[in-house]
Chains A and B, each alone.
Chain A
Amino acid sequence: MSAPPPPRLLRALLARIARPASRDDLLRDLDDEYRSRIVAGETPRDARRWYRSQVLGSIPPLLVARLGLDGLRSLRTSWIDVRLGIRMLAKYPGLTLATVLSLAVGIPVGLAPWHAADVFEAELPVPEGHEIRVLKRFDPVAGSWDDTGIPDWASWQANLTSVRPIGAVLRSTYNLDSGDDQDPTIAGAILSASGFETLQVAPVMGRAFTAEDERPGAPDVVILGYDLWRTRFLADPEILGRTVRIGGEPHDVIGVMPEGFRFPYQDHLWLPLRSEDPAVDPRSAIVFGRLADGVGEEAAAAEFRVLESRSDGRVGRSADEEVAFVPMLVPFTEGLFGLRPGGLRAELGFYFVQAIALMVLVVACVNISMLLLVRTTTRARELSVRAALGAGRARIVGQLVVEAFVLSVLAAGLGLVVADQVASRLTFIGDQLPYWADLGVTWGTSIQALVFAALCAAIVGVLPALRVTGGSIQRAIQQASAGRTGVRFGGVASGLIVTDVALAVVISGFAIAFSDAVLRALPAETSGTVQGDEYLVAEFRVPTARGLDTPFGDAVANDAASRTLLTRLAREPGVRSVAMADAFPGMDRGRAVWEVAGSAPTEEATGSRSDVVRALPGFFEALDQPLRQGRSFREGEATEERPGVVVNLQFADEFFEGRSPLGRQIRQRLPSGEPGPWREIVGVVGGIANSGTAVRPRAVAYLPASPADLFRPKVAIRVEGDPTTFAPRLREIATEIDPRAIVAEVSLLSDARSFDLQVFGWVFLGMRVLVGVLIALAASGTYALLSFTISERTHEIAIRTALGAPPGAILRTIGTRAAAQLIAGAILGMAIVAAMFRQFILDGWRPGTSPLLLALATGVGVVLTIGFLAGVGPARRGLAIEPEEALRL
């Protein structure tokens, strides 16, 4: 009988840790015994459990041996330190809590950017997924990728020998009628037969596509995803051969894919690729291939470049579009997201974000270091006794570092749990990620977190330990028996406090500037004067023939269906008004560059740009927005020779400096650089999209449109009562009009948020938490040190009080030094903030306030807060001590 292989990950971990000299023997011994246990009748599960416990139990002794630590101290004493460290956790619960919480925040924040880059670099979960590449052309001038399409795929498939097989996939959305009330909209893809060969993933039931399925006129077939089969078809074992209706057309089910397979994104059904099908957009495919056996990356890329240089990169395009593209083979995830070559890690901004994130960790470490310094100092007596009994300095430092390590590991563990929880709540991002990208904590991240924890432990443990063990034993014992520690922090403590305050100022300043800049850059956050909670909004479109859905849909069918929908909706009881556009207030909108007739053509400066909304006539009326000047759109205006344009007040302000724009001519500069037709401004509307918040409104131009012009057409329906109750009826009507019709993203208008706004919502929340945590950390560290310094001086304070010194004078004596440290930190921090802004933020982000003012305000704010939180308590305590009591000490 053949036993299942031992757990791979654990085995690999052990192989890394074991000493090279005995690694092979060790692994072979372990594997042999694992197999013989199974042969002897143990269940594979028990055997794996045994294997796991062997590996996990082997890690500490092997690590100790590997790092040569057993030469310094025997294994047993280091375990004593660990136990001592754990006991210390319980003995100082406040310190434990502060440390664990701050590292639990610091470690995940520090790891997050790197982790995100890992997610983007994850390989496809298919056999030998690392060999899969996306074939693309990069335009080095524009810094962007060129479209690839079916003609490219055909050409590459025919000519490339070092990359094969080569597949093509086009993503889409389908209406699947499964005979129940569930939302029929399903994300799916058209996947070539060669795509299945490339992925090397076979259906669990039935078969994959073949060339026969791609022949024009072949029967319509579909392969279902596992989840879809289970939920919609109740895991019907007789599913093969059953007919399902997709976009109203019957399709035979020929296969069910394995659980978890949702290639290429989050897709649940697959249709065969028929390149002759007029509905297949020839320029929007993802073309991917597998490096042929024995062919290296370099050789394959070279062949690809040669092939492309011969064809001039002109497959399926006209000659005038010719650009010097660089053909590239990129890892699948990078290719799918269209990241620039090299992925996230090739972006400078990535390192900037990573540096900021690490700064948070440094602040946490500095603070813990301060707390530990104080704790270590209060244990000076214990340590000096140990030293007197013969423990060397190295031994004591070692013990303190191990204690710090126990703390850090505990904190890192908690941090990972926190990170995992946060990641699992970022579902709105999760839906936008491909199926194999896991935001949750991985092994790699866990190991990194442990490394960070070890580093933190080294930083926070060594410094206090060296400081405290530095003095002579004799003096330490004398001081200790006199009730004092005798340790003067001097420069170290001052340095820590200054660093701490400076970092808190820098990060707070950054957070404030970032929020400020982003708020200014964002479009209006709410629907402003529009009563968003009275409208139901949804995407509506009719996919092209055979269910293939592009963002524009099937132009002819769309046009007819949309008009019918609007008419039918308007007749529905309870519906007060209906509008259709590509964006409603609060949603993502397009941008355009405008040229004003009679003025010199402007460069692409911010002044000549505006948001663009394409809308059907009746838009302003439905949203209850009467025009301030001029007229609204006429019926059929979109198809007139010179259609008008309606602008908002902000547009009038920015382009015409407040003069009436009515009758003025503007034209759009198209992305190709060509000018569009001249349009006359026929109306001015108020701030539809502008909220009552402090956000600056943006210029918007509204263009009359037909449904076929709209990118992801959206319908807004104003309903009496709760609009959400109208959603099922909307689907019903849509399906009656056209069974292929897709109704997606149904929500209240007030809840419709652009993706940017959702992301920034989280970023703001995160920043607020971060700033709060940092200030609390800085305050707690400073508090501990101040409090300790003052308690060390109680004797002196008492004598002064007894001699009649007024409290104010004493407070000044104590406070001067603390204040000096806080102010020094603030000045340092403010200087960094100001410099940082000049460098990074002024250019791109344009914060509203002057950087110097902002830096100053942040510095003063942070210091006042910290000073108040940290200074008041200890000072009051110092003054409250009765002179007699203090003299007795």
Chain B
Amino acid sequence: MPRGDHLGEFEYLVMLALVRLKDDAYGMRVRQEIEARTERSVTIGSVYATLDRLERKGLARPEARIDAGGRARKAYRITALGAQAMRDRIEALSRMTEGLALLEELDSV
């Protein structure tokens, strides 16, 4: 993978939120999803800044949608390149943890 296409931690979290939310992946929903699941506070600005960056890297793309209130919105979806980047990351992680009883190992620290 070329340099610069690897995913930062927050980018990875945003990508995961896009996958989870599917058609409902608007900025604020992404923010709420990450906040709820990671229990850390997330600002809307960092979500939009990250979505912009992912878009520039070609890892996610915006789609015009009509939301429940009938208003035009921009929702995001991951691209094929984005899917590949996530796969790389997951595989790297799983190779690193392969054969480890990870939690037990960590408990013994």
Contact = CB atoms under 8 A, between A and B. Distances in A.
A21 interface: yes
Contact of B52 (A22, A28, A30, A76): A22
A65 B54 CA distance: 12
Contact size range, A = 20 to 34
Contacts of B45: 14, 17-18, 26, 54-55, 57-62
A664 interface: no
Contacts of A640: none
Given A26-B27, A29-B28, A58 B46 contact: yes
A54 B53 CA distance: 20
Contacts of B51: 22
A74 B46 CA distance: 13
Interface string A9-36: 0000010011101100110111011000
Given A19-B52, A61-B49, A70-B53, A30 B8 contact: no
A32 B28 contact: yes
Interface in A56-75: 57-62, 64-65, 70, 74-75
Contacts of B26: 25, 29
B40 to A, nearest CB: 12
Interface string B32-49: 100000000101111011
Given A22-B51, A25-B26, A65-B52, A76 B8 contact: yes
B33 to A, nearest CB: 13
Which 6 A-B pairs rank lowest in CB-CB distance, beginning with the nearest? A58-B45, A57-B43, A29-B28, A65-B49, A61-B49, A61-B46
30 contacts: A14-B45, A18-B45, A19-B52, A21-B52, A25-B74, A26-B27, A28-B71, A29-B26, A29-B27, A29-B31, A30-B44, A33-B32, A53-B41, A53-B43, A54-B44, A55-B45, A57-B41, A57-B45, A58-B43, A58-B44, A58-B48, A59-B45, A61-B46, A61-B49, A62-B45, A62-B48, A65-B52, A70-B49, A75-B49, A76-B8
Nearest to A76: B8
A151 to B, nearest CB: 57
A18 B28 CA distance: 15
Contacts of A29: 26-28, 31, 44
Interface in B3-18: 8, 10
A22 B44 contact: no
B55 to A, nearest CB: 9
Contacts of A60: 45
Nearest to A74: B8
A75 B11 CA distance: 11
Contacts of A26: 27, 44-45, 48
Given A22-B74, A54-B45, 13 more contacts: A18-B48, A22-B48, A22-B51, A22-B52, A25-B27, A33-B28, A57-B41, A58-B46, A59-B45, A61-B46, A65-B48, A65-B53, A75-B49
A19 B45 CA distance: 10
Nearest to A26: B48
A61 B27 contact: no
Contacts of A62: 45, 48-49
B53 to A, nearest CB: 6
B73 interface: yes
Contacts of A30: 28, 44
A33 B42 CA distance: 14
Residue among A14, A29, A32, A33 with most chain B CB within 10 A = A29
Nearest to A32: B28
Nearest to B10: A75
A53 B41 CA distance: 10
A30 B53 CA distance: 20
Contacts of B52: 19, 21-22, 65
Interface string A524-542: 0000000000000000000
Contacts of B74: 22, 25
Nearest to A56: B43
A719 to B, nearest CB: 68
Nearest to B27: A29
A379 B52 CA distance: 37
Contacts of B71: 28
Given A19-B52, A76-B8, A57 B46 contact: yes
Nearest to A29: B28
A600 B50 CA distance: 84
B106 to A, nearest CB: 23
A29 B73 CA distance: 10
A186 to B, nearest CB: 50
A30 B31 CA distance: 10
Contacts of A61: 43, 45-46, 49-50
Interface in A586-618: none
A46 B71 CA distance: 27
Residue among B10, B31, B53, B73 with most chain A CB within 10 A = B53
A75 B46 CA distance: 10
A26 B74 CA distance: 10
Contacts of B48: 18-19, 22, 25-26, 58, 62, 65
A244 to B, nearest CB: 55
A235 to B, nearest CB: 43
A560 to B, nearest CB: 73
Contacts of B27: 22, 25-26, 29
A677 B95 CA distance: 109
A114 B48 CA distance: 35
Nearest to A18: B48
Contacts of A76: 8
Contacts of B43: 53-54, 57-58, 61
Contacts of B49: 61-62, 64-65, 70, 75
